[in-house]
């Protein structure tokens, strides 16, 4: 059996019960997966003046902006239901939350349309031009 024979199944019916959660894309790598007191420490200190959002994380100044999902697209957070005991077994994930936008943060520099994360939002539209079927 090939290692590639195992697949990851997404239980899409779980999307109906999925939470709507706030997402923040941070300009640093946090070596941690797990709980974080975002609503106590982070959200109340975010300031939003005329579309310029600011906050501090670990004493460093961040500047942020809301980013919307491209039209026709939905944001999903997938979470593994149970870790399989071997790599031959299928992995099963569920939709733990859904989102239509998120906040992305730069370290110090004001967000611009040339930032990678914003430029990448262009991809789905181009993908459709590349991959749409050719009609006669």
Q: Closer CB to other proteins, residue 51 or residue 58? A: 58
Q: Closer CB to other proteins, residue 51 or residue 134? A: 134
Q: CB 82 → other proteins: shortest distance, Å? A: 10
Half-sphere exposure of 124 (CA within 13 A, CB side): 10
Q: Closer CB to other proteins, residue 51 or residue 132? A: 132
Q: CB 60 → other proteins: shortest distance, Å? A: 5
3-state DSSP call for residue 60?
strand
Query: 24-54 burial, b for 16+ CB within 10 Å, e for fewer?
Result: bebeeeeeeeeeeeeeeebeeebeeeeeebe
Q: CB 135 → other proteins: shortest distance, Å? A: 9
Give the number of other CB atoms < 10 A from CB of residue 102: 18
């Amino acid at each position: 059996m090939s290692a590639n024979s195992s697949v990851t199944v997404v239980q899409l019916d779980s999307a109906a019960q999925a939470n709507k959660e706030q997402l923040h894309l941070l300009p640093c790598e946090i070596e941690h997966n797990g709980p974080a007191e975002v609503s106590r420490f982070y959200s109340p200190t975010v300031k939003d003046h005329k579309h310029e959002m600011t906050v501090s994380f670990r004493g460093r100044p961040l500047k942020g902006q809301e980013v919307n999902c491209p039209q026709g697209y939905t944001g999903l957070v997938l979470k593994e239901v149970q870790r399989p005991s071997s790599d031959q077994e299928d992995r099963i994930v569920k939709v733990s939350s859904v989102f239509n936008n998120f906040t992305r943060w730069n370290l110090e520099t004001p967000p611009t349309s040339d930032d990678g994360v914003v430029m990448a939002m262009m991809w789905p539209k181009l993908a459709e031009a590349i991959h749409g079927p050719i009609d006669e």
